[in-house]
Amino acid sequence: MSKPLDAIFFDIDDTLFSTSVFADQARRAAIDAMLRAGLSCARDVALRELQDVITEFSSNYGSHFDKVLDRIGADAFEGHNRAVIVAAGVVAYHDTKWSKLKVWDDVYEVLRWLSSKRVMRGIVSAGITIKQAEKVVRLGVLEFLTPSAIFFTDQVGFSKPNPKLYRRVLQRLRLDPARCLYVGDNPTHDIDPCNAEGWNTARIRRGGRHATEDGATQADYEITDFFALREILQQDFGL
């Protein structure tokens, strides 16, 4: 007998697309642009400094490229306007967003298929609101989502892995956790809290940052792509 399903929610990063691959492409493009704009430094040194800045100040820090120049030193851009070099990095990074940021092909196909079913389709994503919202738009999946079912942690007031985040989502939409499915890649931030709240859970292992990590609990399902998710939705939930 099929399980009832009223809603399915997705994480974004390393669930709908490869965050780590995209970030590496964008950062390399930024450094290359800064070198072309006048930065005099070995490429590997600049890339290493950028990675250290991200590690030390977080990926949400607003002045990564400025900080890279601080660390390399003024001699590396003598005779050039510092602001132009930084701008070159920023433009290249954002240009990469336009050209490289997209969901995996199977994700697009399955989300399009899901949009024809009588089930709510949502997002529960951690991060700065405008950045996560931009990803939803740039990834080209907004048309497949239920508008009222998109949640970013900065707006909700609770962040992952706080179970209250998932509880609040259900309260706002008047949903029963036993009739909902959450799909994410992070065992401690996606799967464990949803399991604690009584959701159905599916963990995607696709080689992202959390692929080899374990949480305190096991997901109800483990998948490597969205085609496997579609099979589960058809066989176990009757979609």
* pLDDT at residue 39, as a whole number: 96
* pLDDT at residue 207, as a whole number: 78
Query: Whole-model pTM?
Result: 0.84
| Dihedrals phi, psi of 169, to nearest 5 degrees | -55, -45
Lowest mean pLDDT among 4-8, 127-131, 181-185: 127-131
**What rounded mean pLDDT belongs to the chain?**
94
* pLDDT at residue 235, as a whole number: 96
Under the banding of pLDDT at 50, 70 and 90, the label for residue 163 is very high
Under the banding of pLDDT at 50, 70 and 90, the label for residue 85 is very high
pLDDT for 90 beyond 80: yes
| pLDDT tens figures, 187-210 | 999 999 999 999 999 999 987 788
Q: Any idea what DSSP says for residue 75?
A: G
CB–CB of 185/165 below 8 Å? no
Question: Of 204, 175, 177, nearest to 190 (Cα)?
Answer: 204
* pLDDT at residue 237, as a whole number: 97
Angle at the Cα of 184 (from 121 to 92), degrees rounded to 5?
90
Lowest mean pLDDT among 77-86, 98-107, 190-199: 98-107
pLDDT for 215 beyond 80: yes
In the chain the domains, ranked by start, together with CATH numbers, are 7-17+102-235 (3.40.50.1000), 21-100 (1.10.150.520)
pLDDT for 98 beyond 80: no
Q: Name the H helices within the chain.
A: 19-36, 43-57, 64-72, 82-100, 105-114, 129-138, 153-156, 163-173, 192-196, 226-235
pLDDT for 170 beyond 90: yes
Under the banding of pLDDT at 50, 70 and 90, the label for residue 214 is very high
* pLDDT at residue 1, as a whole number: 80
* pLDDT at residue 23, as a whole number: 84
93 residue type, one letter: Y
* pLDDT at residue 6, as a whole number: 98
Rounded average pLDDT over 76-90: 96
| pLDDT tens figures, 34-65 | 999 999 999 999 999 999 999 998 877 889 99
